[in-house]
Amino acid sequence: MQPTLKPRIKICCISSIEEAFMAINYGASALGFVSHMPSGPGVISEELITEIIAQIPPPIATFLLTSSQNAQEIIQQIKRCGTNTVQICDNIKSGNYQDIREANPGISIVQVIHVNDEESINEAIKIAPFVDAILLDSGNQSLDVKELGGTGKIHNWDISKTIRDRLKIPIFLAGGLKPENAALAVKQVAPFALDVCSGVRTDEKLDKNKLKRFFEQL
């Protein structure tokens, strides 16, 4: 996909309606809501996700982050939570993307690729025809307790740039982003969107000053 000079911003790990509107007011075009994960920050109940989603205005993309590897489970999660986008943080083992689309007309599907080595390029190319966007993040699915994001660590942006060059669908860049490196990430990778969680938080709470500085860098 063509390089993006001014990417959209997704603020992840939203935990309250106050955080949601703080992110929107500073310029976020997407919000991430983390359901059950094996590790990492920001997990909230599906009941709270549903409550917050009901108050988000339509132009904002709402992402349900799921660690499920079962398409039928993901379908039911989407129906319960009411988000307009699903971010699949692990590999689907049972069912497929088409099952999810058919059960939830209009849903956008974003697949996370954990960038560890150049094999991530082949993985992204293989999955791209079936999803609406790829989200490149730091993580490790092979650990006893899987890391499916929220690590606060930067991965190899050269690999991320190669993936962005090779694919025709939007690329979200996540992993260790913060005000101090946001501009560099855009310059080096030029993704469609940046995805940030811990980099704009203090003591796990959304920080107005960090949020303001993050957007100013762009």
Residue 198 lies in a domain: yes
User: What are φ and ψ of residue 148, in 5° steps?
Assistant: -110, 25
CA 212 to chain centre: 20
Q: What is the CA radius of gyration of the chain?
A: 16
- What is the total count of domains within the chain? 1
State the residue range of the domain holding 14.
8-216
Residue 81 and residue 51 in contact, taking contact as beta carbons nearer than 8 Å = no
Q: H/E element holding 171?
A: strand 171-174
- For the cut 70, the answer to whether the pLDDT of residue 2 exceeds it is no
Give the model's confidence band at 38: pLDDT under 50 very low, under 70 low, under 90 confident, else very high: confident
Residue 78 lies in a domain: yes
Is the pTM here over 0.75, yes or no? Answer: yes
Give the model's confidence band at 170: pLDDT under 50 very low, under 70 low, under 90 confident, else very high: very high
- For the cut 70, the answer to whether the pLDDT of residue 66 exceeds it is yes
Please give the Cα distance from 173 to 157 (Å, whole number).
9
**What does pLDDT average to over the chain?**
93
Residue 169 and residue 128 in contact, taking contact as beta carbons nearer than 8 Å = yes
- For the cut 70, the answer to whether the pLDDT of residue 124 exceeds it is yes
Q: What pLDDT is attached to residue 153?
A: 81
Residue 3 lies in a domain: no
Residue 153 lies in a domain: yes
Residue type, 31: L
Averaged pLDDT for residues 171-200? 96
Give the model's confidence band at 141: pLDDT under 50 very low, under 70 low, under 90 confident, else very high: low
Please give the Cα distance from 104 to 158 (Å, whole number).
35
Residue 2 lies in a domain: no
CATH number at residue 77: 3.20.20.70
Residue 116 lies in a domain: yes
The lowest-confidence range among 96-100, 111-115, 148-152 is 148-152
Give the model's confidence band at 199: pLDDT under 50 very low, under 70 low, under 90 confident, else very high: very high
The lowest-confidence range among 4-13, 16-25, 134-143 is 134-143
Q: What pLDDT is attached to residue 83?
A: 97
Averaged pLDDT for residues 54-71? 96
Q: What pLDDT is attached to residue 150?
A: 67
